[in-house]
Every structure is written in structure tokens, then in C-alpha cells.
Structure 1
């Protein structure tokens, strides 16, 4: 299996809709984060940290890690005090991960 075509994120979820594990590979994690941001958070809406935690807790127990990945990956923005979160509009990159800016 040497092909690098992106796999769907559906195989990361158990039958009950919960995430089996947070992927270690950056490209898989980026695909998952893009999916979670689109599925759990509406654009143009502000969320409190407890609302973000509750949404992420619905898919995985390690919601602090998911929240951190979403923020550091640019999928969610948050205010300096961490009180408010908003979904970011990502530039489309069909077929793969969003390039890292480092």
C-alpha cells in the first residue's frame, strides 16, 4: 500500500460515531480536523469554550487535544482570553492536507 491518495475520514470513527483515535500522521489529522470543524461548528457563529468542549467531547474523550489541534491548525480561532471561538474559513485544498506554514 504505497499509494498516497487521501483516505476518507469515515474509517477513523466507530459505528457509534465516536472517534477511535486521533491520527498521528499530520495529513490524516488535518483531514480529520477539517471534517470536525465543518461537522461540529457553524461558520459565522461564536462559541464559548464550554460549547467547544461539549461538541468535541461528543466525538472523543481527549477534547482538550482536539481543541488545541483545531486552534493551532487554523480551523478555529480564539480570543486572547480563550473565552470565544469561531470556525475559520480554510482555503480549499481538495484531495489533501492544508500545507503547513512554518
Structure 2
């Protein structure tokens, strides 16, 4: 992670929780990639389990987070199941 990405995370996260969703797409992408790491790539989960993880990050509007993750190609959904399909993978 570079210094700019770390700055975005420090600005928008407090104690691991999102304080607001950035309006700028680049900053939002940094945060979404950080949040996507909470999901195991390829593991399919029902919506309620995805929502529980996202609420831990942002109780105010976890539905918007879910939508952004899908729109950005970091998660996919089909038949009520969601799974991580993008973003960096820690090795």
C-alpha cells in the first residue's frame, strides 16, 4: 500500500469503521478495496451475512457499500448469493 492509500484510510476510517463514503471515485475505490479484504475470494455468502460484515464497517448505509462493491467489480451476486470477485489479495 502506498502513502496516498494509507492517507485515504486514515482520513476515512476511525477504529476500523468508516466515518463517511468519499465522493471522489479514486478515494472510494481505496476504501472499497480495503473493505473487500473482509471477504474470502470466491466464497459465496447470503445477503444477510454480507450485510453483517458491511454493517461492522458502516452502520449508516451498508447497502450503499454493497452496491459500490458490486458496481466496482469487487463483488458479484446471483440468486441471493454474493462473493468477492476482485481487489487485491493478501498472500
Normalised TM-score (structure 1): 0.74
Residue-pair matches, total:
84
Give the RMSD, CA atoms, in angstroms. 1.8
- In structure 2, list runs of 5 or more residues that go unmatched: none
Larger strand percent: 2
The equivalent residue for 1:78 is 77
Q: How far 1:91 sits from its partner (Å)?
A: 7.5
- In structure 1, list runs of 5 or more residues that go unmatched: 93-102
Residue 26 of structure 1 pairs with residue 25 of structure 2:
yes
Structure exhibiting the larger radius of gyration computed from Cα positions: 1
Normalised TM-score (structure 2): 0.82
Could you list the structure 1 runs, at least 4 aligned residues long, displaced by more than 4 angstroms after superposition: none
